[in-house]
Structure 1
Amino acid sequence: MTEIGERSEGPRSRKRVHYGEGREALLNAAVRVVARGGLRRLTYRAVAQEAGVTHGLVVHHFGSRDALIEETLAHTIRTSMDTSALEPGTGEVADFSSGVSEMVTADPDKQAFQYELLLESRRRPELLPQLRALYDEYFDATHRELNRMLPAGADPALSRLVFAALDGLVLHQLVLGEPEVTDAAIEELRTLLRLLGADGAPTEGA
């Protein structure tokens, strides 16, 4: 019995990989498979073909499809904050979320994977804890950076509002392209933050 989404493919060259680097290569391959075909296309054979390794190597590393899904999501959580551009750490409005459009352009598969898993979590609630952990990381990074920028600090609701705006822009660029639209919208967001008193500007009524 074949796996769902499995197709017969011609012979491909296989590459020998070491355990650590091979595992990461398989996780990255799984991200690409899901980003391009949805979670239903995620099979051992699809990941093996994408990574250029044997089907048995994928089985050896993960053991079950559920483990492959969970470990790929965990891998995404570990790597996402490094490229999210949410927390430059400078407290300067001009630096806030700089590079978001470039991030989407450079690695659209990682973004697509996360949105695919968000939708899948409506059908598979067991994915929610890890997705909540990922988004809590995003919220916390946004909150810390806003606290650096705003003299009065930022309450959690404002941090979620700002992150939701950025998340929506990422999704729109992922689907529609137009990185220049993302950049223009983020610059407008920076203007609003300056009106709230960021960069040491006095707030209204202060």
Structure 2
Amino acid sequence: MTNDRTARSGRGYGKGRNALLEAAVQVVARRGLRNLTYRAVAEEAGVAHGLVVHHFGTRDALLAAALEFSLANSVGAMSTKPGSGDMDALFGGLVDFVVANPDDQAFQYELILEARRRPEFKPQVERLYAAYRAELFTELEAAGVAPDDALVHLIFAALDGVVFQLLCLGDREAALAGLERLRELLRALG
């Protein structure tokens, strides 16, 4: 017999490792990083907690794998036509992605905030930001904007702020308007 959460999410034992990673992201996004336990992940995924231990061994390994899973889900939202140089595609699906997948972003922000309290998480946060900046660098280059580290840092900081505010306030129209204005500024640089 499945619980309501498992029935609603469509996850369970048959979905394997990815279901556990999705559950870990959801636990952190909804309850905070301090509540990431084998039992909480197992409950969210609708499996026995021993399965989580079997797949990941340690909480740190689970967290690292969940971060990679979350990044794989979200870094691609930088453009609706990756590598095309199409400025209209740049950030084109970002708002819809965040609205449809808020847990990925909330998970990442929880990790970022926890790194402030626990320096041992700093390497994961650095990896998180490096992945986004590398993707942004590639997209700017393809769009004919000559990126440098400072420009990429500035643009990503703006994107990070737009996503954070969208996640917290839910103002879709403000996020869309801000991203369009950012594209206009980038067109002027190209």
TM range (shorter): 0.7 to 0.9
CA distance in 1, matches of 2:172, 2:27: 24
Contact 1:87-1:145 within 8 A present in 2 as well: no
Task: Please list the CA deviations of residues 111-131 of structure 1 after superposition, one character each: whole Å capped at 9, or x if unmatched.
Answer: 000000011112222222232
Gaps of 5+ in 2: none
The 5 A counterparts of 1:1-206 are 12=3, 17-18=13-14, 21-85=15-79, 88-150=82-144, 153-196=146-189, 198=190
Specify whether residues 12 and 154 from structure 1 end up closer, same or farther in structure 2 by C-alpha distance, changes over 3 A only: closer
Q: Give the conservation status (yes or no) of the 8 Å contact 2:41–2:52.
A: yes
CA gap 1:161/1:53 in 2 versus in 1, 3 angstroms: same
Does the CA-based 8 Å contact 2:73-2:104 persist in structure 1?
no
Partners of 1:37 and 1:92 lie apart in 2 by: 38
> How far is the alpha carbon of 1:101 from its aligned partner?
0.5
| Cα distance in 2, alignment partners of residues 16 and 88 from structure 1 | 32
TM-superposed deviation, 1:190: 1.3
Q: Distance in 1 between matches of 2:62 and 2:142?
A: 38
Rg larger for: 1
How far did 1:87 drift? 6.9
- Whether the 8 Å contact between 1:86 and 1:141 is mirrored in structure 2 is no
Secondary structure of 1:91 counterpart: coil
Percent identity over the alignment is: 51
Residue 16 of structure 1: how far off its partner (Å): 6.4
CA–CA distance in structure 2, aligned partners of residues 100 and 186 of structure 1: 9
C-alpha separation in 2, matches of 1:54 and 1:30: 14
Maintained 8 Å contact 1:35/1:116: yes
Distance of 2:22 and 2:85 partners within structure 1: 32
Cα RMSD after superposing both structures = 2.2
TM-score, length-normalised on structure 1? 0.80
Q: Give yes or no for contact 1:93–1:190 (8 Å, CA) kept in 2.
A: yes
Amino acid at match of 1:63: G
State the SS of the aligned residue for 1:144. helix
Does the C-alpha gap of structure 1 residues 144 and 67 become closer, same or farther in structure 2, counting only changes over 3 Å?
A: closer
Question: Structure 1 residue 37: deviation in Å?
Answer: 0.7
Rounded to whole Å, the distance in 1 between the matches of 2:187 and 2:63 is 41
Quickly say closer, same or farther: Cα 1:16–1:147, change in 2 above 3 A. Answer: closer
Q: Deviations over 1:100-148 (max 9, x none)?
A: 1101011000000000001111222222223212211211111122222
Partner SS state of residue 122, structure 1: helix
- Give CA-to-partner distance per residue, 1:182-203, whole Å, 9 cap, x none: 111111111112222x3xxxxx
Could you tell me the TM-score, scaled by structure 2's length?
0.87
Return the alpha-carbon distance in structure 1 between the equivalents of residues 167 and 95 of structure 2: 9
- Please identify which structure carries the higher helix content: 2
* CA deviation map 1:161-182 (0-9, x unaligned): 1111111100000000011111
